[in-house]
Amino acid sequence: MAQKRSVRDLLVFDAVRVRRARSALPSARARLIKLLVLAIAFCSLTFLLPQFPTLPISPSHQRTLSPSPPSSSPSPHLHISQSPSLPSPKIHPLPQSLAQWQTKNDVGDYFSQIQTTSVGYLVWSRFPLKIYLEQPNSLDNSASNLRFQQWVTAIREAIKEWNNYLPLVEIEDPELADIIITRSQVDREIQLDPETGLYKIPRAITAQTTYEFYLSSDTPPILGHRIKVQISPDLGKNATLTTARHELGHALGIWGHSDRETDALYFSQVSDPPPISPRDINTLKQIYQQPTRLGWEINN
């Protein structure tokens, strides 16, 4: 019998950020970043670990407002400028791998559960997507290094699985990456429940995916997005793989959850996690047929 762990997803912050991307050239001038609007959202899997006391936490999707942006907030040297008009939402050509995708039986999808953002669906349009994966600093055979290597191997397995549906490539420079995956703990913030007046201590968060928007250094600039995925170092090999599979689904555009535990993007975690399902890919394919402002030129 599948035993569910108590899990909830937490949507804590929602704003809009557009900034000029750092140029691939190592020039300080090229790194001038223009802040226009700010948008970050995140979705995180949280687990109630045995060592934490049971707390009166709502099991439902939760949204709270944060007075200040998280660590990816703009540096002080950024400056506000006049806002050019955003591109109008348009549909990108369907990536070949998704265009060829068909299921034998009509298994359906969970597209109705997918959230859009202030600039449309989180659709990528330039492939292969560049993924940076954090690596250990040294190559020694210490126990901690071996655990790190095991973490890297599990994440690479998840990347390989999704690569069957959208072209992905691992790169070594995080500055150039579309998706950055780090091995780190996700900070927990104590929140005040406005209804009860009591503080709520969030459950341990094992993974978190966030997005931000920026303007590329192309002429004219293109509205792009960048994804950051944090995955805990404390998970076992299989849990790391299934967590990475789930979070990469968000990173590729599935910004929402399935209500069936046979899908990788099921909102909760189960003891026998499924592989990427036909319903996951049907949903992904639907998303990539939606209009978005992302990937199109900004017109002044």
Q: How far is the CB of 246 from Zn ion (least distance, A)?
A: 6
Nearer to Zn ion by C-beta: 23 or 116? 116
Q: How far is the CB of 120 from Zn ion (least distance, A)?
A: 20
Cβ(240)–Cβ(229) below 8 Å: no
What is the chain's length? Answer: 300
Maximum alpha-carbon separation in the chain: 59
Nearer to Zn ion by C-beta: 86 or 205? 205
**Interatomic CA distance for residues 89 and 67, integer angstroms:** 30
Q: How far is the CB of 43 from Zn ion (least distance, A)?
A: 5
Nearer to Zn ion by C-beta: 43 or 222? 43
Cβ(56)–Cβ(33) below 8 Å: no
Helix (H) or strand (E) holding 155: helix 143-162
Nearer to Zn ion by C-beta: 168 or 229? 229
Cβ(231)–Cβ(182) below 8 Å: yes
Quote the tokens at residue 101.
């995708």
- Within 8 A by CB and 6+ apart from 236, the residues are none
Q: How far is the CB of 143 from Zn ion (least distance, A)?
A: 30
Q: How far is the CB of 177 from Zn ion (least distance, A)?
A: 21
Q: Return the closest-CA partner of residue 283 out of 269, 262, 298.
A: 262
Nearer to Zn ion by C-beta: 216 or 286? 286
- Using CB under 5 A as the criterion, which residues of the chain lie in contact with Zn ion when the complex forms? 43
